[in-house]
Chain A
């Protein structure tokens, strides 16, 4: 039995540093190559020595696929390709390819210039790494080599996010990356072709135990809270990541401000975010129906009310709304502003998404009243609101995707163990599938069925099709002999008769017979009923010959109300159908 092996180097029962290795039919593929936000030592990157034992990865990997530009999915890429060493192809979508270097550069700056990390990849590394990237289009089937193909599907989540179907011969794996089944203000919902039926679906499970209520209600809630706070003269801090939710919330607030004609200032961290918004403006065909339709008149990403932020504004007394990076309050401007604003009860912080445990953000959400930041204790008096604007699918979305994709096995990554367990039980009960949730470094292997392609003679094929009595022709019994030629080792299919002739033996046929009761025997009538199954049936005086004598109907001696059916073994499945047809009484019609 061929086996499909999967081992997560990161994101196994965990969120962060997504990196999953799959090995199928002798090909090794790395899905995502991310960093972990919770660590600043070596654990922040996946353990690549697992693959090669410490040396370069060339020869061990056939290709690398990056699902989207979030750092926990691509942050380790230059490290892997330039420091560890990998020269093979790296695949990602066009928007991802455009945005990834910007984010990596930003990440590098933070690490080396602010944290003083010296053992880190350089700008040159990022450039060289990006040269190895091959961009793909949605739904385009890319041939990595003769057997291995990949295909990207729209995943929602963030601009350019994609799910990847990796196919090698007859085996296939669908990796979702991060995806979102609920369309939002700027992106559509994840979308796959129906009935992909891969051997394995690797899906993220960030929100495994959540079923969100209406997105609209959430939006209303958010807008109301922001509006109330600024009305009372407070300031609103919304820590976001530069790309993704930031744009979504900006569009939401922008259109609300415009609708209500509010004058309170909205600020956005300058620099990266501004740059990022440019990409959103550029890749407009990746966004949703409305934005695509109206961008000719006005590009939704040209914000009217939202202006770049300057740190001096933070001390102003007047109310304002600030989108600040990064999203988990683990440093940067967000943290600086938070320190200034956290003591005033009039202010509010809205955490719009997930926070990794250990970050200041997570502490804030957990309701801690005193938090130590940089060796100083801060009193937390401002209102804290948590709102899941995260663009991940919820449990219902995950189950819907499983239903749409129809995989043979499911594997959970990118989530917390406990929650995965909960969803695992649900899925196994609902859809009868085997669900895996390996920890980092734990290998799972899935048996796949080997496939061999052999040409079948047309007469055998049509014979086989005709043997199935249902119009769906779903279960066509197939009888033939497989012959392997000694020299070329090629298979050939021949019919049983031919094989018998080759071997000089006689074929035996097995026939069965059964006697059924009928109300009367009228061969003409019966023939009329059966003609639609076999237009060439032959009517004899004492019976009917169907399917070239494979089924015979005949009199039973001395019995006027019985018919004997004699059938060849291959026609077994026709029996019930024919009996029903022969014995069926005229339909009674009820007048309703």
Chain B
């Protein structure tokens, strides 16, 4: 259907133009008012169908150009035709068309007397070459055309011409013989033409010099000099072009020569924003390249270049433009070698003593002429100092970080927070001074910055030791209402080194207090306390007695294990005890019982404590050590797996189902045991199911079962495979590969059935098979493994059949046996899921799971969300996702089930996922729900999960293959055998 084709192609092209970077040569600015779209030449035929005008079908771009050449004297006509060419045809030219067009345009260029036309011509050439696949051929055709006679336009074309040359150089099709001519043109324009000419000349020179494979140092140096001068140009656009060139020159390892440094520092206060931005970036390159070089500063002191550059960037913190300030704040973080006094100066708006130099060269004493404004009356001016004091840096550069952290705009503050953290990581003194400033950011009005501050502080804390003072500041963040901030702070605290027992005590107290206020923090608080306990075992030792309330005289009443506060303390003490066994002797006897309980209930929180373990062994008669138990469990699982695989591969049809039934029963039993076994068992259960289903399908086909039954079973198998893929974390690649093969087999069986049973099936089959093969190959590439021999052979066979189809093309009907249903089935005989013999990683498998924090199950029971029917409303949802990969997050959906059995999926925004650690993601979102009027409140079910699309699953629509999406709910983190489920009571009411 050529008609449709033309349409779509045209549309594609227009998109392309708008999206392409807007160089000098975009045609989108060609005023559309005069442009006459060829659509006008449509004509409605008698039958009422739209046809292209005959003329248009025949006409092509080359023809338009030919016409243009004919009217060599009619300016308007040529313009119109050229415009038609550029807007409609330029992008559709094939190789020969391009060649011919170039020739024609060149002809036009040489004959025309009008500058305007010549300009359009050169721009068209640019566009053709830019898009062409045979650039070199075109350029060879073109280049002899450029000679002196082109310049009878007196330089009016120069900027366009230079851009064309630049393109040629960039695409490496430039003929070195032309260099002289091009250089002449560019030199002519460099100083003496309008801004566009100067810009084009600069860009060409940059491209010419930088594009050489072996950089010519002499030329580079000349270019640098030239650009340095041009950075002074009166037009900001020219300045920008020049400094962009300089930035390109110090890309990667190379840097500008040291002579340019002074010039660039001056440019940091240029009137143009872009120039300032780039200058700041180049300054950083200088600082990294020549850190120890001595330079003269603004204040006429000799400083290290690194320090001086740092000062320059500090000054930019006062820039009037937010963008520049944000960039400066970001760049500050990259000055890793700056000297300490300069760094400390960034935290004080007043000059620090070390920054003041007396006339004799020594630094000033500890006097300060400015008041801080903290006391009234303090700001009476001081007596003038006897000695004339010189400041080492301008006062504007002082307190760069203080200014940045106070900035009005979040972008600046955010960058500053990160830079501050980065600079402080390896400098203990500076880090100490920084902690206060970062901790102050916990008070920021924007939640994201508070979070950033905590993140920035985390690495600092690892290096240093937190004292009482700093802890005081940091702990205020624990009262924050935003749970992200508290979680991040827990993370920070669990990595910190506390100075003394008082600090630990304070920390624990505040943690316990917030635990009362924010019950949702329970898990995170426990984890935090656990690692505090592990890190500061010796300090906890002195506190243990006090914390647990042990009295030396009386026997204690056993504390309730349900008590959260007690539990929190216990977590801390037990963790410490694992490092400091002495603590065990201090604890009351019931702690041992609690230990055993906790050790079973949440082993990740409570480490093994030898003292207690020993006593357990001596008391109980179960003599097996834990490693023995581990071995046993391992062999149990391995055994089950082995039986499964054996049954699948070698057992006879009749035995199979019986065997599988037995294995499944065993595995179901294992699932009721503790989590360590339950998860792998559950995985094996699913896997076993898949094998079973696959075998059922295979036997079903051979014994001629109902198609719909087979399809249903295949559907089931697909679903199970999908579940395995998206519910478990850490599954062996081999298994995944095997499952993918299984999917292929199942899909092929479906195709086979369809070919035989559905009219038109044969026509669609090749397309589907092809897609299927492609998908399989992609998947294997991704998994980085190879398909089994059986599958390789199968794919080979399919490919052969497919190529036959292509050769035979349209007369498919005649060659019916090329890809027939029974053919495929025959090929699939003896197919089985090639699962590996053993699965060493079985124990490492964990569930991808969801832990719903909000809506809280207990609270939600009483709360009813009321809203106007038909309008959407939001339900706040807050949950933790365990073990989900980035790919899973893409597919993450929240399923909303309404009582009227309609189902909706809600996808959270990508910004609403916050990665807490590499296996823990928090999602906090507002799920939109909406419903029609109900008489009374009713429940809707929310469920988090993954929405899978192909390659699993095809079902039969009327006569078509369709691929179906299906939803895999994720298990609940607290009860891995259950799926997560949240019910919310809603009540849509009538709108008033």
Decide if B437 touches A421 in the complex (CB within 8 Å). no
Decide if A471 touches B192 in the complex (CB within 8 Å). no
Cα-based distance from A351 to B373 in the complex (angstroms): 12
Cα-based distance from A332 to B101 in the complex (angstroms): 88
Q: Which chain A residues lie closer than 8 Å to B399 at the CB level?
A: 396
B686 within 8 A of A: no
Partner of A471, one of B191, B218, B376, B377: B191
Q: How far is the CB of A98 from chain B (nearest CB, A)?
A: 23
In the complex, identify which listed stretch (B124-132, B440-448, B700-708, B963-971) lies at the interface while the others stay far away.
Answer: B440-448
Cα-based distance from A535 to B155 in the complex (angstroms): 11
Q: Which chain B residues lie closer than 8 Å to A533 at the CB level?
A: 191-192
Decide if B188 touches A531 in the complex (CB within 8 Å). yes
Known contacts: A396-B349, A419-B381. The answer to whether A471 contacts B229 by CB under 8 A is: yes
Closest to A577 in B: B229
Cα-based distance from A220 to B469 in the complex (angstroms): 13
Cα-based distance from A348 to B434 in the complex (angstroms): 31
A400 within 8 A of B: yes
- How many residue pairs bridge A and B at CB < 8 Å? 150
Decide if A211 touches B349 in the complex (CB within 8 Å). yes
Partner of B376, one of A258, A260, A386, A422: A386
Interface size range on A against B? 35 or more
Partner of B377, one of A194, A212, A258, A365: A365
A115 within 8 A of B: no
B600 within 8 A of A: no
Decide if B374 touches A259 in the complex (CB within 8 Å). no
Q: Which chain B residues lie closer than 8 Å to A351 at the CB level?
A: 376
Q: Which chain A residues lie closer than 8 Å to B402 at the CB level?
A: 213-214
Partner of B409, one of A258, A259, A289: A289
Decide if B234 touches A473 in the complex (CB within 8 Å). yes
Q: Which chain A residues lie closer than 8 Å to B225 at the CB level?
A: 587
In the complex, identify which listed stretch (A32-40, A160-168, A182-190, A313-321) lies at the interface while the others stay far away.
Answer: A182-190
B801 within 8 A of A: no
Decide if A216 touches B440 in the complex (CB within 8 Å). yes
Q: Which chain B residues lie closer than 8 Å to A355 at the CB level?
A: 376
Decide if B381 touches A422 in the complex (CB within 8 Å). yes
Closest to A395 in B: B370
Q: Which chain B residues lie closer than 8 Å to A207 at the CB level?
A: 373, 379
Cα-based distance from A332 to B823 in the complex (angstroms): 100
A263 within 8 A of B: no
Partner of A185, one of B232, B441, B445: B445
A456 within 8 A of B: no
Q: Which chain B residues lie closer than 8 Å to A212 at the CB level?
A: 349, 372-373
Decide if B410 touches A289 in the complex (CB within 8 Å). yes
Counting chain A CB atoms within 10 Å of each CB, the highest count among B232, B377, B399, B408 belongs to: B408
Known contacts: A195-B271, A214-B406. The answer to whether A260 contacts B192 by CB under 8 A is: no
Decide if A587 touches B406 in the complex (CB within 8 Å). no
Decide if B437 touches A216 in the complex (CB within 8 Å). yes
Chain B residues 410 to 465 lying within 8 A of chain A, measured CB to CB, are 410, 436-437, 440-441, 443, 445-446
Interface size range on B against A? 35 or more
B230 within 8 A of A: yes
Cα-based distance from A402 to B445 in the complex (angstroms): 30
Decide if B405 touches A216 in the complex (CB within 8 Å). yes
Decide if A472 touches B375 in the complex (CB within 8 Å). no
Partner of B396, one of A366, A400, A466, A589: A400
Chain B residues 70 to 128 lying within 8 A of chain A, measured CB to CB, are none
Mark interface residues in A354-391 (1 if CB within 8 Å of B CB, else 0): 01000000100110000000000000000000111010
Cα-based distance from A586 to B232 in the complex (angstroms): 23
Decide if B370 touches A209 in the complex (CB within 8 Å). yes
Q: How far is the CB of A592 from chain B (nearest CB, A)?
A: 8
Q: How far is the CB of A351 from chain B (nearest CB, A)?
A: 7
B281 within 8 A of A: no
Q: Which chain B residues lie closer than 8 Å to A471 at the CB level?
A: 191, 229-230, 232-234, 238
Chain B residues 502 to 537 lying within 8 A of chain A, measured CB to CB, are 517
Closest to A367 in B: B377
A47 within 8 A of B: no
Cα-based distance from A534 to B371 in the complex (angstroms): 59
B888 within 8 A of A: no
A467 within 8 A of B: no
Cα-based distance from A534 to B192 in the complex (angstroms): 8
Cα-based distance from A207 to B374 in the complex (angstroms): 12
A191 within 8 A of B: yes
Decide if B374 touches A387 in the complex (CB within 8 Å). yes
Q: How far is the CB of B435 from chain A (nearest CB, A)?
A: 12
Cα-based distance from A261 to B476 in the complex (angstroms): 12
Known: A216-B440, A591-B217. 10 other contacts (CB 8 A): A211-B350, A213-B349, A255-B445, A259-B480, A288-B408, A418-B380, A471-B238, A533-B191, A535-B188, A587-B225
Binding site for B on A (CB under 8 A): 182-183, 185, 188-189, 191-192, 194-195, 207, 209-220, 223, 255-256, 258-261, 288-290, 351, 355, 362, 365-366, 386-388, 390, 394-396, 399-400, 403-404, 418-419, 421-422, 430, 466, 470-474, 531-535, 586-587, 589, 591
15 A-B interface contacts by CB (under 8 A) = A211-B350, A219-B443, A255-B445, A261-B479, A355-B376, A386-B376, A387-B374, A388-B374, A390-B373, A399-B395, A471-B229, A472-B234, A532-B188, A533-B191, A533-B192
Query: 6 closest pairs, A vs B, by CB?
Result: A183-B408, A216-B440, A388-B373, A422-B381, A535-B188, A589-B217
